[in-house]
Amino acid sequence: MLNLAALTELLASPKKIVITTHHKPDGDAMGSSLGLYNYLIQQGHHTTVITPTDYPDFLAWLPGNEDVIIYTEQLEKSAELIAAAELIFCLDFNALSRINEMGVLVGDSSAYKIMIDHHLEPADFDDYRHWDINACAAAQLVYDFIVNQLYHPELINKDVATCLYTGIMTDSGSFRLPNTSSTVHRIVADLIDAGAVNYRIHELVYNSASENRLRFLGHCLANCLEVLPEYNTAIIAVNNTDLKKFDVNTGDTEGVVNYALSMSSIKLAAFIVERSDRVKLSLRSKGEFPANEICKKYFDGGGHRNAAGGHSEGTLEHVVEKFKSILPEYKKLLKQ
């Protein structure tokens, strides 16, 4: 194990560092990783961000993106960097299974592992953790790590601020989910003062859709939406043929589930999509409803109370039926 003093000492001289984050990185995964990257490179650390898979194009403008390595596209180089690393930062995830095959390499590496995360029930693979489930984003914890643990507020430059703002903005649902505390707003104000151009970041992330993506959204709402009033639940289920027809790319499905949740009576929304290798579920809920419990118990996944995900073998129809068969167990909570 490492304590903060020992970690601070380690970071006092240039080190070989790898930063990694979860499968199919989202705005917080990339924002927190590149925020930390832009901080560490200012101190001369040899730092590389390695993602387990590709990620959406609407994140490709983030400062430092050009230096990111995607594991599945550069297996050998990734393995070399992980084996040679002295420190590995694990951001926005807390179990090595979330980084796919990279998990074995990270687990085998002799590097110190530092987990910065806000998900429930962390596994035990780290040497130091900055972990808080009340944080709205891993990017919030990276800010706290730099400013309040390493005492480097002056190193929150424009690039760091831009990345961390993106992580907080996306994971807090644009500052509207319940964990968007006054502390979060104070941090965000600091990030704007440090150079994050808030309106421009919103523009780059949320107004960057292709025509295909919009037509796909229309298709989902017109043809794939099923409302179950008995359970205050809505499902959008999309098959692989339609993904191909609309030329859906990584990131194009992001946020579709929120449209199902936007109906006033709906407490639980599911977006179920048939990918080439497996069926993936995204759940969103309102209030106290534990979406993560369903993902953990039935779909080999997890996440937060109001935003969780998982996956399943089997056909799309089978997974939709399985999801529906679980609802009676939660009827009381859903009808509250």
Q: What residues make contact with ligand 5GP under the rule CB under 6 A? A: 22, 26, 98, 282, 301-304, 307-311
Among 33, 92, 252, 302, binds Mn ion (CB under 5 A): 92
CA angle 77, 79, 81 (to 5 degrees): 70
Size of the site for Mn ion (CB under 5 A): 4
Helix (H) or strand (E) holding 201: helix 198-206
Q: How far is the CB of 90 from ligand 5GP (least distance, A)?
A: 13
SS3 93: coil
Q: How far is the CB of 186 from ligand 5GP (least distance, A)?
A: 23
- Phi and psi angles of residue 239, each rounded to the nearest 5 degrees, phi first: -90, 170
CB nearer to ligand 5GP: pick between 50 and 95: 95
Binding mask 165-204 for Mn ion (x = CB under 5 A): ------x---------------------------------
Residue 138's binding partner among ligand 5GP, Mn ion, none (Cβ under 5 to 8 angstroms by kind) is Mn ion
Nearer to ligand 5GP, 87 or 279 (CB): 279
Cα–Cα distance between 37 and 66 in angstroms, integer? 12
Name every residue whose Cβ is closer than 8 Å to that of residue 244 and which is 6 or more positions away in sequence: none
CA–CA separation, 58 vs 236, rounded Å? Answer: 23
159 beta partners: none
The site string for Mn ion over 125-164 (x = CB under 5 A, - otherwise) reads: -------------x--------------------------
Specify the residue, 26 or 274, whose C-beta has the smaller distance to ligand 5GP: 26
Q: Of 297, 293, 242, whose CA–CA distance to 272 is shortest?
A: 242
266 binds Mn ion (CB under 5 A): no
Contacts (Cβ under 8 Å, ≥6 apart) of 290: 305
Binding site for Mn ion (CB under 5 A): 28, 92, 138, 171
